[in-house]
Amino acid sequence: MTTKDNSNRPSPIYVVSGGKGLAGNNMVQSMLIQYPNNNVAVILVPHVVDESQILDTVLKAKEDGGLITHTMVQHSMRRRLIELAAEHGVPQIDFMGPLAEYLDEKLEIPSLQMPGLFREIKQQYFERIDAIEFTLDHDDGLSPQRLSEAEIVLCGLSRSGKTPLSVYLALYGWKVANVPLVPGIQPPEELFQIDPGRVFGLQISKGQLLSHRVKRLRNFKNTENTSYVDEQKINEEIRFANLVFLKGRFTVIPVTNKPVESSANEIISYMSSRYDFGGRKIHSPFMGNGSDKE
């Protein structure tokens, strides 16, 4: 396999794709590795969406005696590439066609014909894993110096539901940090330095907060921590939290007797109305598979 000038330089292999071409490139490279020191150039031709791009590649392959491999999932583009390659005498290998035709016949389900769909779905998966790791690393005030990296920041009193809400949002791909509010301890300065539109204060009634705390103490068999469930101190904590929300101009989210799903959807609604995510789908638990995104 040499070029037309009969030199010893191997002819190149073109990998044509409507997406990034990673699948086709991996297939070619997995074969070439079986031929040590082959010196074959692999030329990636990604994002092919019209006939002019196909013709340009076919003519280049004809000129240097190259081979075209392709993973075109759009039927019409795949057929046109095969036709043009035959017309110009350029050898081509279709990685997708035979399998696609088999599936079309056997499954009787219309193909989406969307280049890069597998990579996009995998990318969404890894983004969600990254969001979960970030959220766990920034739970309960951890790493306040990195609050600016969070997409959403929650703040509230102990037992106001910060952690379960943070984790729930993370499952849909949001990087969340949460900050506990404790009277007598000033919140980290970073909380007031980030965009307040991304910060949400969780507001809970005295009755429900007291109920949550009593249950927690019972679970831990800790009956001596009376200040934690003292109604007067809880009133002071609630006033303190409200002052923090006011100072930071944070959006207040009432969470009393509200399921975590409802609070999450309310926060996501605020985020989607406030920010342009630049083509990133909005993660939402009520928009099917996360809506997803980004």
pTM of the model: 0.54
Instruction: Please report which confidence band the pLDDT of residue 76 belongs to, taking 50, 70 and 90 as the band edges.
Output: confident
Residue 291's pLDDT is 37
pLDDT at 112 over 60: no
Rounded Cα distance, 267 and 255, in Å: 11
Per-residue pLDDT at 289: 37
- Amino acid 290: pLDDT: 37
Mapped to the 3 state alphabet, what secondary structure does 210-250 carry?
A: HHHHHHHHHHCCCCCCHHHHCHHHHHHHHHHHHHHHHHHCC
Average pLDDT over residues 67-79: 87
* Separation between Cα atoms, residue 47 and residue 68, nearest integer Å: 15
Pick the more confident residue, 26 or 246.
Answer: 246
Mean pLDDT of 157-162: 90
Residues of the chain with CATH 3.40.50.2300: 13-107
Looking at residue 217, what is its pLDDT? 77
Instruction: Summarize the confidence of residues 180-194 as an average pLDDT.
Output: 91
Q: Cβ(14)–Cβ(66) under 8 Å?
A: yes
125-157 tens-digit pLDDT: 666 777 788 888 888 778 888 888 999 999 999
Report the pLDDT value the prediction gives residue 37, as an integer from 0 to 100.
Answer: 82
Average confidence score pLDDT of the chain: 81
CB under 8 A, 24+ apart: contacts of 72-79: 72/16, 72/17, 72/18, 72/48, 72/96, 72/115, 73/18, 73/19, 73/100, 73/111, 73/113, 73/114, 73/115, 73/117, 74/18, 74/113, 74/115, 75/100, 75/111, 75/113, 77/18, 77/48, 77/49, 77/51
pLDDT value at residue 123:
59
Please state, in angstroms and rounded to a whole number, the distance separating the CA atoms of residues 199 and 246.
12
For residue 281, pLDDT over 50 is answered with no
The pLDDT value given to residue 95: 86
What value does the mean pLDDT take over residues 184-210?
A: 91
- In one-letter notation, the amino acid at residue 254 is P
Residue appearing with tokens 């729930």: 168
Q: What is the CATH number of domain 117-274?
A: 3.40.50
Specify which of 170-174, 248-252, 255-259, 265-269 reaches the highest per-range mean pLDDT: 248-252
| Higher-confidence position of 225 and 174 | 174
**pLDDT of res. 57:** 93
Higher pLDDT, 154 or 269: 154
279 pLDDT exceeds 50?
Answer: no
The mean pLDDT of 53-67, rounded to a whole number, is 94
Task: Give the per-residue pLDDT at 184.
Answer: 87
User: Which contacts (CB < 8 Å, 24+ apart) does range 168-171 have?
Assistant: 168/260, 168/261, 168/264, 168/285, 169/135, 169/264, 169/267, 169/268, 169/283, 170/128, 170/131, 170/132, 170/134, 170/135, 170/136, 171/128, 171/132
Please say if the pLDDT value at position 55 is more than 90: yes
In the predicted model, is pLDDT for residue 293 greater than 50?
no
CATH, domain range 13-107: 3.40.50.2300
DSSP state of 144: G
State yes or no: pLDDT of 108 exceeds 90.
Answer: no
Range of weakest confidence among 64-73, 101-110, 188-197: 101-110
- For the segment 277-287, the average pLDDT, to the nearest whole number, is 47
User: Is a pLDDT exceeding 80 seen at residue 49?
Assistant: yes
